[in-house]
Structure 1
Amino acid sequence: MVAPLPDITLASPHPPPLPSLVNARQLRTQRLGRALRLWVPVGVLILLLAICFLLPLVVTLPSATSGNIIYNNEPPFSPGHILGTDVQGVDLFSQLVYGGQVAFEVGISVTVIGIAIGGTLGVIAAYFGGWVDAVISRVFDILIAFPALVLALVIAEGLGPTEMHVIWALAVFGIPAVGRVARGATLTIRGLPFMTAARLAGTRRWRIIARHVVPNIMPNIVTFSLLGLGIIIILEGALDFLGYGIQRPTPSWGNMIANGQQILSAQPEYVLIPSVALLITVAALNMLGDALRERWGAQ
């Protein structure tokens, strides 16, 4: 009886890569992806800020508040008007640049107010608890229960259509939103061992808050505030569009869209240009917030 031949498997001319090489390649790809998700929106925001705030200091732009009616409705890339002019002959690029200044000034101001006031109240409510937490939490709940745009409309109408009044009208929405995030993050770390050790060591409450609570909750607050900044810029544009925010001749992206809707069918670029600028800004802020949340492990 003939013995069966042994099972011989021919070697592949292209052997599979070693597991260590595969893992290294995947790791490099993941690192590159994380870096791109972070630095692409950072680059976009830096470019937008440079155009809005630095370009007018370097280049003399046409007036953004007045123009010559003789040169109205100039198409893009006309001499002296890279994006053309509107129905009043006002340069669209200048309006876009100075409208971006308004959007960033309002958004950043509201965000800073929300972090300073809402963040402080949220930390105090969570750390001290008891009736302090109950009172502050109920105030937050009442403010958040109102639709943000409706509440901002009422406040802006009562105060008047100026940039500072728009900031405070939107801050009423931003303060409780940041406050609830700060309160939740503080409750998460309040019972951790290092907090208990600090209290048992006799450290003063305000020192514990400054040295232990604030540094540990800042990633949550920063990532949420970046996402909220995009919402604030949209709300500011909505107020201007409805006529309750920044009024012409002061340019803003919202009143540029409102001004262009009258001739939308004939010249849609009047609406598309500020709309695209608003879209790019908000998308970059959202991407940056998501990237930082992934990097910091924030909730």
Structure 2
Amino acid sequence: MHFDYQMALGSFLVAIIVGLTGMGGGALMTPMLTVFFGVPPLTAVSSDLVAAAVMKPVGSLVHLRKGTVNLRLVGWLCAGSVPTAFCGVLLARALGRGNNVQNVIEIALGVALLIAAAGLTVRSYLTMADRAPRRAARRPSSGEGSEAAPTSISVRPIPTMLVGAVGGLVVGMTSVGSGSLIIVALLALYPRLTANRLVGTDLLQAVPLVWSAALGHILFGDFKLEVTLALLVGSIPGVFIGSLASSRAPGGLIRWALAFVLLASALKMFDVGTTPMAWALIAAAIGGTAVWSLLRTWNGLRPLPFPRNGASSARTVRAGREPDPSVLTR
């Protein structure tokens, strides 16, 4: 069995980004395998899902111990996602063999990457809006431990199960969606769910979802042990290092760069030419910056997240206060 050290290095770099941002690795690891290493799409999805099945439980157990998981939501999500994740592999196989199934996976992966980019943008906006002065002024002050207090929500079983079913099908076919599609749908269904419980719930429900999809790919997909081993060897230390550095890294800037990379990867999956892709990315960068500036202004922040001068930030730190949220956000 040949071990690919370059693939391990690539997974190491991707895993550092995952550790820094908390973003699901499937949205980055699978495109890396197909674009840079020439791995067939179905093989990339199969091997990435098996690697994720080994790594997923770590973060979810941390949230479970902290109590930042809504177990009723997890149960209804899994009721929909676990069977459809397994069926996603069968659906991909039923659509054809050889080049046919690879083409289907490429298109599905492109759609899933666009969803992941949109989900990342939505999460960035919610973080920015939550830290903005206008939102902070409206937030009730209830003591030092108020942020950790759980928010009571009324679980809606059928819509939640449908979200899980759609998310599971997408993950089973593309390995992308457990940290993007499902979390955005949860935000729409349960806007009162706090950020830490949203992330914890999403992480825990992803464990049985990924296990189901991984089992399907081992049995019916195109799983390659050597690819999975290279991913694990690189990603385990990468996630650890990225997690340690997450408190010091400019998370907002990294997330925007990731959204840009996801858009480019999606266009690549759709076989868009180099010149149209370049123009599309330029338009997205200019349009995205303009829209983001308007959203920041609407939330009471400066249009761009740069401090007016270095001295003001230094005075804020010396005074023992938190820096201006506009400096830290996006």
TM-score (norm 2): 0.29
Structure of greater Rg = 1
Select the structure with the greater relative contact order (CA < 8 A; seq sep ≥ 6): 2
TM-score by length of 1: 0.32
